[in-house]
Chains A and B, each alone.
Chain A
Amino acid sequence: MPAHLERARLLLATHRAAEAEREARAGLGEEPQSRELLHALCSALVEQEKWPEARATAQSLVALAPNWPDSFYMTTCVELEGKRYKLAEKAALEALRLAPNLVISHQNLAVCYMRQEFWGDALREAEAGLALDPENSGCANIRSFALNHFGRKIESMHSADSALRSNPENSRTHYTAGIVKLENGEPRQALEHFTEALRLDPNNELARKGLVEAMKAHNSLYRALLAYSFWMMRLSAGQRRAVIIAGVLGYNFVKNDSGLGMWASLICVVYFSFVMLTWVGSSFFDFLLLFDRRTRHALESRQRAGAVALVCCLVISALWFVVGVAGSVVDPFWALPILLYAIPLTRVFKNRDGWRRVTSYVVTVSLGLLLLGSLCLVATQTDQVLVLITLILLVIYMWVGRLLDI
């Protein structure tokens, strides 16, 4: 094996991606047509998360070695990272065509389907991979997720347990087992698995998030919320919208025309509280975790900031209400828009991607300025129209924001 290639591979194996990149490039200077060196270079770029370069290198690799499955495995990896799922799927299919008897071909394709939430296809490919290698943890994990999605909980747990028996020292396997346990209402066991996943790979971000969720799920109220979230996640995007719209229509019906009398008010309050909880529950329970030494540092800084922002909003709303009830200085009813403002405020700390994040910022800042101005007018008893408009906008945001997921 040429020296540069061997050194590059050794450097990759010992987590020295930058040096591996240099070695691979030096090797390519001498052997520009070496697919192995190009593959090593691409691996080094992927490990350093230099995605644009990695993508270009993967394309060069495919051009150089169009009949080599590894070219397409690398392309799949790069495209998945860029969330170009269709391109990743195409590359994975080509790899499968070239190497149908390699389990990794099926595993890669299963991952592509899983990311696109094509659970049936993901399950099929995972099982095809397991038929070739029953101990492949990647396929076992995907199978477990897919079965769980279809509500085949017992099979899902068996699949996760089987993967653990084969690969007890695998962080992802523990993560998968943790998710399955969490979704099936076993937070204590889920916590053990997430803890073990993090012990094996402290950089496993998914496991860290799972740990936080498992801690929050010790609370039965949060567990109920989580169950609802998992149920919603199993629905398609269209089905989710339908549930939300049905909820809004049902709420309006009960409030206005149902003839349920005082039960209507109770149902409306419960429904309204439930909706608020779906928006701000996670941040609220994040706040509770701030008091636990184990999980305080597991929270990301934005989670901590969101939690603190939420509680500030709740406290101000409560204070307004109490002051309003105690004296006649302010109308306690206007504590409601302050309470509702918690929704866009916490959302700002959750949204990460592109346009959603920008929209969230713009909406939150605009509504915040509007709220501040309107409350000043209310406090000075100058005007109440603006605060009413703000309240209406906040209510609209509750529904529209949920539909658009912003």
Chain B
Amino acid sequence: MSTAPEPAEVAALRAALNVSPGNNPLRLLLADALLKYNLFSAATAEFREGLRQEPRNMQLKFGLARAFHGDGKNAEAAVLLEDLLAAGTGPAAAHLLLARLLCENAELQKAAEHAHRARALDASAVDADLNARLEPFLRPLAAGDGRPLSQTENREVDAEGRVRMQAGDAPGTMETDIERPTVNFNDVGGMEQVKEQIRMKIIHPVAHADLFKAYGKKIGGGLLLYGPPGCGKTHLARATAGEVRASFVSIGLHDVLDMWIGQSEKKLHEIFEQARRHRPAVMFIDEVDALGANRADLRHSASRNLINQFLAEMDGLDTTNDGLLVLAATNAPWHLDPAFRRPGRFDHLVFVPPPDAPARAAILRVLLRGKPAEEVDFAKVAAQAEGFSGADLKGLIDQAIESKLTAAMQTGRVEPLTTKELLAACKRAKSTTLEWFSTAKNYAMYANQGGQYDDVLAYLKLHR
């Protein structure tokens, strides 16, 4: 029996491998080339030989699974893939291949899980035929549609209407949850000026991407929200992601601290990469001054390395940040390293003031929802609560409720809250924004050479 000659590419690779038979990367190239030319048996032999030398090499394992699949040995391929993915370190393509195999085996639920995982790891890992077959299992759940939550679909919706996908087990990825917020600007009371600024700087560029690209403008960049604590910066960032229907990756203070302690530039890079894989994506960094602290204030060189890594990620030096919007929030923008404010990074500053009177009334209305209250004049209470943050308003309500509870425990009856009681609580409560403004005023008066704190001056009705 005569065998067909090998393609030239394969022959060349084999000749090279004969010279250095221990060169596994070369063997991998040869095996991939054999797969390309559908020479599955030969490919299988090469992958097996490679695994004999490097039993833990995932690429070789995956390659062998592909060779099995090509050779019609689906069962062996499936077993190998399950073994590969059980360690939690398989690539997206492995999940996708296993999804196909499971689908062919009529295990549609499990197939859908792996298809999800593939998509979570790599947005481009999509098989249209497979999706069509798995469509009933792939349709996302939304809050309130009556269907039960399914953990196996890797999506859950929390009480605030956030749809959250859990991070996949892709190799070397940080366990960061990707959200798809269902809130948008309609869910943010007041703050019309702030919302308009965000629309101009973030939302319109995404909505009219082609128009912006025609003028050479990139879609993406950074926006820094700053203001007193408890005024809705995080909620606003989430609503922005909802407006552009983007994925939402959130990094909090403790994530940052963990990165500091682990000196983990790699973790930071992985978070950015994960966000990039899910573009368009909004990455939100809360309390960004903890991550981007002025390098002059930090003593450890490792800390500076983390900041340098963050700056490099913002600049997208090794990759493009098109479609990646980075929102950050801080109560202390003046503590941020000046490098963060350079063009292309957080060069847009948006001051998020305490809620205005209509917003305060709306917040009070929401806070009192479901609680016994009797025809409360929200406008009047809101007018008394000038300068109160959302958190302060919650504190005010809590105080009023506590007083009411004390009375209710004596009478044994549920008494509704009244406007008078809320106004009395308002007098007792103190705004936590005052302290912030006394510091902010100093920065706005004396360290405002670039005009970055003009909004604070305007809010305080001061003039330069």
Chain A positions within 8 Å of B, measured between CB atoms, are: 3, 6-7, 10-11, 13-16, 19, 169, 195, 198-200, 202-203, 208, 293, 297-298
Please tell me which stretch of B124-132, B133-141, B340-348, B445-453 contacts chain A, meaning at least 4 of its Cβ atoms lie within 8 angstroms of it: B445-453
* A-B contact list, 14 entries, CB within 8 Å: A6-B260, A6-B261, A7-B261, A10-B260, A10-B261, A10-B303, A11-B257, A11-B290, A13-B298, A13-B299, A13-B303, A16-B290, A199-B446, A202-B443
B residues 327-357 near A (Cβ < 8 Å) are: 332, 334-335
A7 to B254, CA, bound (A): 9
Taking a contact as CB atoms closer than 8 A, the residue among A3, A14, A203 that contacts B297 in the complex is A14
A208 to B449, CA, bound (A): 17
A208 to B335, CA, bound (A): 20
Given contacts A7-B261, A14-B289, A14-B290, contact A297 B297 (CB under 8 A): no
Q: Which residue of B lies closest to A195 (CB)?
A: B446
Judge whether B446 and A7 touch: CB under 8 Å: no
Residues of B within 8 A of A7 (CB): 257, 261
A200 to B463, CA, bound (A): 20
Given contacts A7-B261, A199-B449, A297-B462, contact A14 B442 (CB under 8 A): no
Taking a contact as CB atoms closer than 8 A, the residue among B296, B332, B443 that contacts A15 in the complex is B332
A199 to B441, CA, bound (A): 12
Shortest CB-to-CB span from A303 to chain B, Å, is: 15
A383 to B162, CA, bound (A): 82
Q: Which residue of A lies closest to B254 (CB)?
A: A7
Judge whether A3 and B447 touch: CB under 8 Å: no
Q: Which of A14, A195, A199, A293 has the most CB of B within 10 A?
A: A14
Judge whether B289 and A297 touch: CB under 8 Å: no
Is residue B293 contacting chain A, with contact meaning CB distance below 8 A? yes
Judge whether B442 and A203 touch: CB under 8 Å: yes
Judge whether B447 and A198 touch: CB under 8 Å: yes
A49 to B310, CA, bound (A): 33
A200 to B297, CA, bound (A): 13
Q: How many residues of B contact A (CB 8 A)?
A: 26
| Interchain residue pairs A-B with the least CB separation, the first 3 | A202-B442, A198-B446, A202-B446
Given contacts A7-B257, A202-B446, contact A14 B462 (CB under 8 A): no
Is residue B406 contacting chain A, with contact meaning CB distance below 8 A? no
Shortest CB-to-CB span from A335 to chain B, Å, is: 38
Is residue B439 contacting chain A, with contact meaning CB distance below 8 A? yes
Judge whether A202 and B445 touch: CB under 8 Å: yes
A16 to B261, CA, bound (A): 16
A16 to B257, CA, bound (A): 12
Taking a contact as CB atoms closer than 8 A, the residue among B261, B293, B447 that contacts A14 in the complex is B293
Shortest CB-to-CB span from B445 to chain A, Å, is: 6
Judge whether B297 and A202 touch: CB under 8 Å: no
A15 to B293, CA, bound (A): 9
Q: Which residue of B lies closest to A199 (CB)?
A: B447
Residues of A within 8 A of B296 (CB): 169
Shortest CB-to-CB span from A88 to chain B, Å, is: 26
Main SS at interface, chain B? helix
A243 to B260, CA, bound (A): 61
Residues of A within 8 A of B441 (CB): 297
Taking a contact as CB atoms closer than 8 A, the residue among A19, A169, A202, A293 that contacts B447 in the complex is A202
Shortest CB-to-CB span from A293 to chain B, Å, is: 7
Residues of B within 8 A of A16 (CB): 253, 290
Chain B window 292-308, contacts with chain A (Cβ cutoff 8 Å), 1 for yes, 0 for no? 01001111000100000
Given contacts A3-B261, A7-B257, A297-B462, contact A13 B293 (CB under 8 A): yes
A11 to B442, CA, bound (A): 23
Residues of B within 8 A of A195 (CB): 446
Q: Which residue of B lies closest to A1 (CB)?
A: B261
Judge whether A15 and B335 touch: CB under 8 Å: yes
Taking a contact as CB atoms closer than 8 A, the residue among B297, B442, B449, B462 that contacts A13 in the complex is B297
Residues of B within 8 A of A200 (CB): 447
Judge whether A14 and B445 touch: CB under 8 Å: no
Q: Which residue of A lies closest to B445 (CB)?
A: A297
Residues of B within 8 A of A298 (CB): 445
B residues 275-318 near A (Cβ < 8 Å) are: 289-290, 293, 296-299, 303
A121 to B436, CA, bound (A): 40
A130 to B156, CA, bound (A): 63
Residues of B within 8 A of A19 (CB): 253
Judge whether B261 and A203 touch: CB under 8 Å: no
Shortest CB-to-CB span from A225 to chain B, Å, is: 26
Given A7-B257, A198-B447, A293-B463, 6 more contacts at CB 8 Å?
Answer: A10-B303, A13-B293, A15-B335, A198-B445, A202-B445, A203-B439
